[in-house]
Amino acid sequence: MATTSFPERIDGLAAAGDDAVRLTRALIRRDSTNRGNGEGDERAAAEYVAEALGDAGLEPRILESAPRRANVVARVRGTDPTAPALLVHGHLDVVPADAADWTFPPFSGEVADCPVTGAPAVWGRGAVDMKNTIAMVTAVVRHWARNGIRPRRDVVLAFVADEEDSAAFGADHLVREHADLFEGCTMAIGEGGGETVHARTSSGKPVRLYPVGAAERGSAWLTLRARGTAGHGSRPPRDNAIGALAAALARIDRHTWPLHLTPVTEASIDAIAAALEVERVPGDTDTVDAVDALVSGFGAAAPLIGPTIRNSATPTMFSAGYKVNVVPGEAVAGVDGRVLPGGEEQFASTMDGLVGDRVTWEHAHRSPPVAAPVDSPAFAALREALLFHDPAAHVVPVCLAGGTDAKVFSRLGVDCYGFSPLFQPEGLDYTGLLHGVDERVPLEGLRFGVRVLDSFLRA
């Protein structure tokens, strides 16, 4: 495969890194909490990033899907109009945060040393998920404007609402109502990979892994419903809805889903095992137990594989009744299902069997699993951008256990990759900060991400 040719490093990227820090802090201060069920407000964050892009000579559009549910789309024109365009997407909304639990107010954008690494970091809700990435991309585009730089291909920026819920007010709205804005896009990058994972070989040699999302499990959020005879609690009916639904949920909770290795996860296992010098044996990916045994030797990298070798269904909600001595006629539950590429039929048939005759199930929200090729020039370019700035990097494809807006943008026929490059110092639990308390991003991580994104986007 041909090697990607990267432009020379351009003076001024240090200033762009400082700009990314400044933009991250400012975006965090604009509370864009998404509480779900249509209750969200991304307008202030959208206006701020649109103004920052306007300063770079772009003409960003703010597109509201509902009052205050704002999305920002802008196109950076490339030098080669025949080249396929690239989509860079990120979400403006964040999950709720209770200030009482935080060291610093979650919407302060405070800069303070990380207690784990001792390095300075930006603190606040969205510092990791994912106002940091929006800030880095915006800083790169502003750097280009200051230095008269243009990428070879068009780069379409989509900073959207509602990713933390159903995407109905964000990516889904844009794809349904404004698909023309993404004309020519054949590839996309978004959240879900590119950050450092520190691991060690069995001999103790440190290894830096950089997972890149090349697939995602689909979301199957289910509503389960059981009906029975309502009545008095002292004379219980034989068809109690609560009992039927509880039994179904217990079966779902106990169920062990079979092994389902996708091509991306197989490639991920191969790449991580090679990087960590893990000895392979015949049949080590033939069964669930064999895979578990193999992956247990991956140490800190094991979570990259563990949740993605099978489908899953997790009971999360249960609702029934209104008074203790009244038998309700209906009971309702919620189940969070996750479905691997190629696993949709297995998931549906398994759920049919687990719920039984007394319980029905339907999708409350559904988004399909997606996958992009890992042997493509696009993935090679992502790998080489990271190697360009960290020659010791081991870039590995992964399937994401959760989901991103890639599921929506893939409907445009775009190959979507999770690539939000960020250098993480050893000891910092990056995944633990997602939706967690004291979310924070290292300043040097942001500066590294700016350098990688500049190289990749101009390649």
422 and 332 in a common domain = no
Q: How much is the mean pLDDT over the chain?
A: 95
Give the pLDDT confidence score for residue 3 in this predicted structure: 52
C-beta of residue 171 within 8 angstroms of C-beta of residue 69: no
| SS3 assignment, position 376 | coil
280 and 183 in a common domain = no
CATH of the domain at 335: 3.30.70.360
Assigned domain for 391 exists: no
* Across 279-307, average pLDDT: 96
**Residue 185 belongs to what domain range?**
13-192+404-458
pTM, 2 dp? 0.93
Taking residue 352's Cβ as centre, other Cβ atoms within 10 Å add up to 11
Q: Is the dihedral of CA 162, 166, 168, 172 positive or negative?
A: positive
| SS3 assignment, position 39 | strand
296 and 229 in a common domain = yes
**Residue pLDDT, tens place only, 215-249:** 999 999 999 999 999 999 999 999 999 999 999 99
3-state helix, strand, coil in the chain (%, to 5): 35, 25, 40
413 and 363 in a common domain = no
CA 105/CA 97 separation, integer angstroms: 9
Assigned domain for 197 exists: no
352 and 245 in a common domain = yes
| SS3 assignment, position 384 | helix
225 and 184 in a common domain = no
Enumerate the β-bridge partners of residue 91: 160
Segment holding 26, helix H or strand E = helix 13-29
78 and 164 in a common domain = yes
Assigned domain for 334 exists: yes
What total number of domains does the chain contain? 2
At residue 237, what is the residue type? Answer: P
229 and 126 in a common domain = no
Taking residue 247's Cβ as centre, other Cβ atoms within 10 Å add up to 15
165 and 24 in a common domain = yes
DSSP string over 239-263: T-HHHHHHHHHHHHHH--PPP---H
Tokens of residue 387, six digits: 């190697």
CA 228/CA 240 separation, integer angstroms: 5
Assigned domain for 392 exists: no
Assigned domain for 59 exists: yes
Assigned domain for 6 exists: no
Give the pLDDT confidence score for residue 429 in this predicted structure: 85
- Alpha helix positions (H), 30-107: 43-54
* Across 241-270, average pLDDT: 98
- Alpha helix positions (H), 158-316: 171-177, 241-254, 263-275, 288-296
Assigned domain for 8 exists: no
CA 33/CA 284 separation, integer angstroms: 44
425 and 324 in a common domain = no
Side-chain half-sphere of 154: how many Cα atoms within 13 Å? Answer: 20
**Residue pLDDT, tens place only, 130-170:** 999 999 999 999 999 999 999 999 999 999 999 999 999 99
436 and 345 in a common domain = no
Assigned domain for 202 exists: no
